[in-house]
Structure 1
Amino acid sequence: MARTLSPEEYQELGKSYYKLKQYEKAVEAFTTGIDASAIPSTTLYDYRAAAHEKLGDFNAAVKDGRLAIRTHKQDVKGYLRTASALQKMEKLDTALNIYKYGMKNVSADNKDFPLLQQLHDKLTRTLSPPKAIDPFTILPVELVEMVIGYLSFKNMINCLRVSRGWKDYLTNRPKLWASLDLSGATKPVSRTFLANAVRYSRGTLHTLTVHRVQHTDVLRNIATACKSLHTLTILSFPHKISETLVEMARCAQNLKRISIYTEVSTDTISQILRRRPELELVDCKDIYPSGVNGSAPIDWKGGPCSGLQTLALQCNANPTPLSNNLVSTLIPQKVYGHLTIPSTLERLVYTPRHAVILAGPYFSPSCSRSLTHLTLGDNVRLDPDILAGFLNYSGNVEDETRLPIEDAKPLHHLSLAGHIGADGNDASTPSSTLVSTYLSTSPRILTRALASLELPGLPLTDDDIGPIIESTSLTTINISNTNVSGYGIKKLVDGAPTLRHINADHCRNLSSRDVIEYAKERGVHVSYTMAEPSKGAKGRKVRYG
């Protein structure tokens, strides 16, 4: 009697026929092995399915794959073989479901699970419709320019790297290059990039923000070539920029606004103003004095500024000389002399970093009738009569041409963060109304035009609130670090119907949130941070409200 082969032996026999490409005999051997098994192995089903595929019988291959899945759900071979046969039959959706079913039943710890997941993901991408549709090919030009306009300049530059088509599109849109903003530069900006950016703008460049630019000659060329340049901002420079700035101001014939965040001398500012008297805004964040021992004030003789509307000066040195015809010379911590403000000036911001006293009788400011916004920083100390002189008169007291200003515009915004009185107090004025009395010295302050008032750190009390709100139409007021209590805030809320915001941070006499809720119910937002008790103080700790 002939010996019967085991299932393993039939499996090896079938593999031998498979290698010899005798696929029909291989199918027969694998079938005999399956019939001889109590529970056929996945491998037998897998090998027979592979032989069926070679014979082109994909239905039989799928059937064997499903039998393998039914008997061995945890084995990945059945899922892989079934899905493979289905894909060859172009039944991709069914194959994808087989992969999903396998990922559900096969343990993630199985060494073949990553392969199952990889094939699943690949088929998913094949079946998924393309999502990355080039917007430049389907959207109107106007809409694309609007979308790109919301990107920062740095992000727009990154878009040049997407494709050749994107680069060609972006570099042929001059409007997108009219504002050259280098504030996001992390490396030195090359000469080539600057030249290309100007070329892309086709002469329409109107705004330039300089950062990490080392080629000053290129900047001069830009100022000369771009006739539309009206706004220049200097964020950083590798070395002193006085000569370059003056040259740019000279060449940029339509320059209206200049902001300098790096060190700049008073002499440089003078030269810029002399060459460009039609400037509308001058904003300098770090002024240092010129001359021997810093003794040179800002001084120019090219005539008055014909268009200056906003002047912001932040001084770094002490003492700080700030003017002959614009801001007067500072002699050890006091300002004497004559201060002439251009008649067109609408905004004046003076924030010295060291203590400055604008002190009479030698200091006689001559103001602008157009001034509507005035900010004096917390290092400025004013004599009681200086604010009135600052706003009420024009001309020079020395040659007896000093006269009251007629038809002057009232202030819309006033910010005083310094000290009233050369000694920090005025004995002739009751302490409870010191601030409101001081503000009343000029008819241009407490008017219905005043919408914003900032008095942080001044000796403001509840008694000052009444005179302030009776004559103004405030929408915002800053009373932080003052002596105003909850009663004063209630007076503000009830007496100023246009008021919408109160900054009451660190008010020493404000100890309850009741008035905050009271204001909120009436549509007034109160910013209020309660002061922390000093170290070692007894009692309950007051936390931020």
Structure 2
Amino acid sequence: MAHSMSPEELQELGRGYYKLKQYDKAVEAFAQAIDIAPTLSLFDHRAAAYDRLEKYDAAIRDGRSMIKADKQDVRGYLRTASVLEKMQKHDTALGIYKYGMKNVPVGDKNFKLLQQLHDKITRKLSPAKSVDPLTVLPVELAEMILEYLAFRNLVNCMRVSRGWRDYIAKLSRLWMHLDLSGARRPVPRSFINKAVRRSENRLTKATIHRFEHVDVLKNVAKACNGLRELEFITLPHTMSSTLIEIVQCAPSLKRFIVHPEITQDAATQLLQNRPDLEHVGFSSVKRLRTDADWRGPFPFLTSFSLTLVDTWSSRSLQIPALLGQAVNLQSLMLGNVFFGANDCSSVPLTTLVLRRVTFTNDTVPILPATLQKLGIEYAGSMELRGNEHTLLQSRLPVLTHLGLADINMLSADRFEQLLDTYIDAEDPGQIKTLENATPLQSISIRGILKERTDGLFKFAIGLFARSPRILTPSLQSLDIATMPCDDDEIEQLLNYKTGLINIDLSSTRITGASIKMLADHLPNLRTIKADNCPRISGRDAIDYARMKGISVSCSMDEGKGSRKIRYG
């Protein structure tokens, strides 16, 4: 052969010899071309010729040269591993496939072929009864399953094998939510750095717990421009002075939640420094000497949650000033607060939840007509009054979820006043009935009935029977735990056509007969809670409900120092 031939001509010559099955001459032609200008294709062609000559060691050397030349090209891994399999070196071939899956981009058109061959040899090497789901399931299905795992479980999966670790580490979308809520010990900074790299700096949500390195949090906020949600379950010990800095470093942040205790000043300053936040929550706020300063405005704030350490702190909270700065607020949740009669009447809220609240003069405040969800838990023991300055002044035509706790003197009249009647604004002396009001979908009552009561569901006069908005086909969830309910009440409830899916009857006087009646007459029912119901004496009713596809919770504390009996 003439050495004056170009590498391309030598390559074509070698391919011609290969087709004629003259493999020795093909090897010689490819070798001359490699001497002049080595390329990945030339090594591949020569390895194929060596393979035909059964010179496997030489073929493997060329295959490894291909991998060394370009680690992201799948051909080197496929060529080397296939020759190793012919030599019955399956473990070594499996290692080549795993190395290839680590280096070849997932988007490569031949990546799936690489993984299929990896899965095939894995099944061959696995014991007869051992099945690796990531090698048996289709790639798309395996990735879908991994996306449903909690972050802590995902990290545990990486410890199964090197193959699992490399595979999971390459899927950046599994690392979009850095969730440390399941951490049982301090999280090292190296773990956060790796997680951010695996997400390709595309974190959208971070939940921080047991992490002390504030500088790393700042860097994460700066590097991940798409970070929209930040939640702190615990705070680093040196966090108080840098919490605002971290929030300022995240330009796309929209949701910010802090569970540990912070000062009232810190809460107001966080809002003032990031007035573009949409969802803000503080679970434990402590008052300082000065009143809260809610300088705004906060035009983007749609959801706000704040719980004070104690009700004494709420005297400086200035709720009207806060609500006046958030004109687009839709959801408000407050805890341990004093609440005035007109604190929220002018705000177009759709959700209002007040936990351990104290009302001025023991009167329910005037509620906005836009409310869809209302929850009130009184701090102490409150009598629900029904004068014209409280219940009748609230007009709630679109209310669908209602929860009341620790309210004294509940009665059908009070429900009717709250849900069905209102004072005409144009004629204050006129009481009107709501027309076309939305039926309730969920109701939860934990209160004390009037001494003289007509029961819960007795037609037209029972606690829940007076208002036409309660016991309707729209009702899906009913919570009457601790209320005076027995089998007779359940029998009366079933006279109404409801769409109940969940019902909570804990700490009531029902027996197993109620569970059987509910299972027989409510086709949509999915869950029954009947914890601490002493009249339920066995498993028969629970097993009967389970056979109908209903989940029943029925545990009972037999007394101080004794074990808990769980029937379902």
**Normalising by the residue count of structure 1, what TM-score does the alignment of the two structures yield?**
0.60
Counting matched residue pairs gives: 400
Match of 2:37 in 1: none
Of residues 441-450 and 221-230 in structure 1, the stretch that sits farther from structure 2 once superposed is 221-230
Secondary structure of 1:460's match?
A: coil
Kindly tell me: are residues 207 and 140 of structure 1, through their superposed partners in 2, closer, same or farther at Cα, counting changes over 3 Å? same
Q: What CA deviation, in whole Å up to 9, does each residue of 1:45-98 have, x standing for no partner?
A: xxxxxxxxxxxxxxxxxxxxxxxxxxxxxxxxxxxxxxxxxxxxxxxxxxxxxx
Aligned partner of 2:493 in structure 1 is 468
CA distance in 2, matches of 1:374, 1:487: 28
Partner Cα separation in structure 2 for residue 356 and residue 180 of structure 1: 40
Report deviation, 1:308.
4.5
Q: Which moved more, 1:218-227 or 1:366-375?
A: 218-227
In the superposition, relative to structure 1, how do residues 256 and 535 fare at CA in structure 2: closer, same or farther (>3 Å)? closer
Residue 410 to residue 133, structure 1, CA distance change in 2 (3 Å): farther
Q: 1:312 aligns with which of 327, 333, 351?
A: 333
Structure 2 counterpart of 1:381, from 408, 417, 420: 408
Q: Residue 215 and residue 401 in structure 1: after superposition, are their counterparts in 2 closer, same or farther (change >3 A)?
A: farther
Residue 543 of structure 1 and its aligned partner are, at CA, apart by 4.8
* Aligned 1:13-24 pairs, distance under 5 A: none
> Contact 1:179 / 1:207 at 8 angstroms: preserved in 2?
yes
Corresponding residue of 2:106: 140
Could you say which residue in structure 1 is the equivalent of 2:39?
none
Contact 2:171 2:198 in 1 (8 A): no
- For 1:228, which of 245, 248, 252 is the aligned residue? 252
Q: Percent identity?
A: 22
Q: What's the CA shift for 1:396?
A: 8.3
In structure 2, relative to structure 1, the CA distance for the partners of 1:195 and 1:343 (3 Å cut) is farther
User: CA distance change for structure 1 residues 363 and 199 in 2, over 3 Å: closer, same or farther?
Assistant: same
Q: Structure 1's 244 and 168: CA in aligned 2 closer, same or farther, altered over 3 A?
A: closer
Conservation of the 8 A alpha-carbon contact between 2:294 and 2:325 = no
Deviation at 1:272, TM superposition (A): 5.7
Question: Which SS does the other structure have where 2:387 is aligned?
Answer: strand
Distance in 2, matches of 1:447 and 1:493, equals: 18
Q: CA deviation at 1:362?
A: 6.6
Larger Rg: 1
How has the CA–CA distance of structure 1 residues 370 and 224 changed in structure 2, closer, same or farther, with 3 Å as cutoff? farther
Instruction: Name the CA distance, whole Å, in 2 between partners of 1:150 and 1:508.
Output: 44
Q: Which residue does the alignment assign to 2:443? A: 414
Shift of 1:283: 3.1
* AA matched with 2:172: E
* Map 1:377-526 → 2, pairs under 5 A: 377=405, 379-384=406-411, 385-393=413-421, 403-421=432-450, 425=451, 427-429=452-454, 433=458, 437-469=462-494, 470-526=496-552
TM-superposed deviation, 1:167: 7.7
| Contact 1:326–1:342 (8 Å) recurs in 2 | no
Q: 1:261 to 1:162 in 2, by over 3 A?
A: closer
Query: CA shift at 1:200, angstroms?
Result: 0.8
SS at match of 2:284: coil
Partner of 1:212: 235
Q: Give the 3-state SS of the residue equivalent to 2:190 in structure 1.
A: coil
Mapping of 1:85-124 within 5 angstroms? none
Name the CA distance, whole Å, in 1 between partners of 2:295 and 2:459.
Answer: 38
Q: Which residue pairs with 2:267 in the alignment? A: 245
The correspondence of residues 216-365 of structure 1 with structure 2, limited to 5 A, is 218-221=242-245, 223=247, 226=250, 228-237=252-261, 239-240=262-263, 242-263=264-285, 275-276=297-298, 279-286=301-308, 288-289=310-311, 294=315, 298-300=319-321, 303=324, 307-315=328-336, 321-326=338-343, 336-337=362-363, 339-361=365-387, 364-365=390-391
TM-score by length of structure 2 reads 0.57
The alignment's C-alpha RMSD in Å is 4.8
> Distance between the aligned counterparts of 1:522 and 1:399, measured in 2?
53
Q: C-alpha displacement at 1:139, in angstroms?
A: 4.7
Shift in alpha-carbon separation, 1:533–1:284, aligned structure 2, 3 A: same
Query: Kindly tell me: are residues 323 and 407 of structure 1, through their superposed partners in 2, closer, same or farther at Cα, counting changes over 3 Å?
Result: farther
Q: Summarize deviations over 1:246-280 as a string: whole Å, max 9, x none.
A: 23324434433222221356999986698447644
Residue 302 of structure 1, CA deviation: 5.5
Gaps of at least 5 residues in structure 2 are: 1-90, 108-142, 144-169, 346-353
